[in-house]
Amino acid sequence: MPAAPSAAAPDNNPDVVLVVDFGAQYAQLIARRVREARVYSEIVPSSMPVAEMLAKNPKAIILSGGPSSVYAEGAPRLDRAIFEAGVPVFGMCYGFQLMATTLGGTVDDNGAREYGRTPLTVSKQGSTLFEGTPAEQSVWMSHGDACSAAPEGFAVTASTDVVPVAAFENDEKKLYGVQYHPEVLHSTHGQQILEHFLYRGAGIEPTWTTHNVVEEQVALIREQVGTKRAICGLSGGVDSAVAAALVQKAIGSQLTCVYVDHGLMRKGETEQVEKDFVAATGANLKVVDAQERFLNALAGVSDPEEKRKIIGREFIRVFEQAQLEILQEDGPEVAFLVQGTLYPDVVESGGGTGTANIKSHHNVGGLPDDIEFELVEPLRKLFKDEVRMVGQELGLPDEIVQRQPFPGPGLGIRIVGEVTKDRLDLLREADAIAREELTAAGLDREIWQCPVVLLADVRSVGVQGDGRTYGHPIVLRPVSSEDAMTADWTRMPYDVLAKISTRITNEVADVNRVVLDVTSKPPGTIEWE
């Protein structure tokens, strides 16, 4: 099993580590790094009262970095009680400085700035945090103020040329801190330092694994659903497939999945849902063939926003009818809706109540106003990489589990121009070639996604078979990203690009040119439409 754990955990998990977010860009990354150490973590805002944090019975608390100076007016503060509760605490960057000033140390507002890679000198290599790491190591700094004196009872364990106190430790009170960001890969021994805090400082056992937490989720789903029925909309994507597989494992035939075939999927993906998913899970699947309906609705439309609206509208209508048919079937009441909500969605939305009118929930699309379902969200504690690991644990094929992100409107927004059956078939073939070659080169998991775009409204002159051609260009858009908020184009090997280009121009009719998009986001978007 890979090092990172995967599966949801209930509230009040007995081994939870709380990550207190002070507005850091890396708060989610810290939580992920803790989970990679096979310890369950949750993010809480710094505005949460300490009493509420402690009510969660955390095994440890990590204080994140943040953009503020501890001396700035209105900067986040923390009740001293958090350091006196007997819970191990680890401060990073701003959290480190906040711990220092709260406990009587000195942080100087003297402009001692350090940004980026910085040499760190470890003065106590045998300490709890730095055991087994080198005396000189590279860390990632991002700060303006500097700690010049540790609080009483703390041992200074590291420094830099600019910062005399870059790390301190108090084993008696189990309080630790570093000025830098151990959670980022640029800190060469950062994960080791974090694990030393978790295992040595806090005494936590690395027991949060895929297998036992999947079992825990199955038990929770059975308790929630009871003898009633649930429905789930399958999109062909990872999240909905893994959520459905988890619920299927828990309640079997009480779950019905709905897949709307709008004809806008990539080559082989509908078959994966219809055959591979059912074969792997035994799920009851209702497939609605709506390809003709979608093509008719899209006829003559080139504007990308209008295409998105049409696809969304038609999906809602088809899905609504399919689910009404399920509601009218004989059997137990259909009272639950399965959603593939992930932990970043929960954090960014500020939590969630767990019950919603399906009409307003974007993941499914809509039902009559007077119908309400209780949500089943078995992935709401997971990050994306953890979802994939749960899928592997449940036996889903790699073609589903390792599927690259794909937009809801499908190939409809990867055709620049009107969507027709011929153009969809052309783009499907070009896309399939690109995916085949990326897989053959071992790059399909290194590249976050590689949209293949057909410029249907553009034609260029070419020469094929000793004759002049007037064909369409195909655009390759390989990108690297973690969250799709920003992205950079992926530097693919030239020989792989050449093979993809040669195969597409040789094997796909009406294509005589392949081009590479080398634009980052921003300024460009990942999709062209």
List the catalytic residues: 93, 181, 183
3-state helix, strand, coil split of the chain in percent (to 5) is 35, 20, 45
- Nearest-angstrom CA–CA distance, 256 and 329: 11
- Nearest-angstrom CA–CA distance, 520 and 529: 15
| β-bridge partners, 376 | 338
Q: What is the 3-state secondary structure (H, E, C) of 466-518?
A: CEEEEEEEEEECCEECCCCCCEEECCCCHHHHHHHHHHHHHHCCCEEEEEECC
Q: What is the 3-state secondary structure (H, E, C) of 12-42?
A: CCCCCEEEEECCCCCHHHHHHHHHHCCCCEE
Nearest to 154 by CA among 166, 163, 146: 166
- Nearest-angstrom CA–CA distance, 171 and 304: 59
**Token couple for 288:** 């609605």
Query: 327 vs 13, 225, 330, 455, CA distance in Å?
Result: 35, 16, 8, 42
**Token couple for 272:** 């994966």
Q: Which residues make Cβ contacts (< 8 Å) with residue 442, sequence separation at least 6?
A: none
Q: CB–CB of 92/178 below 8 Å?
A: yes
Q: Which residues make Cβ contacts (< 8 Å) with residue 443, sequence separation at least 6?
A: 492, 493, 496
- Fill in the DSSP letter of residue 7: -
Phi, psi of 234 (to 5 degrees): -95, 130
To which residue do tokens 């694990």 refer? 195
- Nearest-angstrom CA–CA distance, 442 and 207: 32
Nearest to 507 by CA among 430, 422, 425, 420: 430
Q: Which residues make Cβ contacts (< 8 Å) with residue 143, sequence separation at least 6?
A: 93, 94, 97, 113, 114, 115, 179
**Token couple for 71:** 């001396």
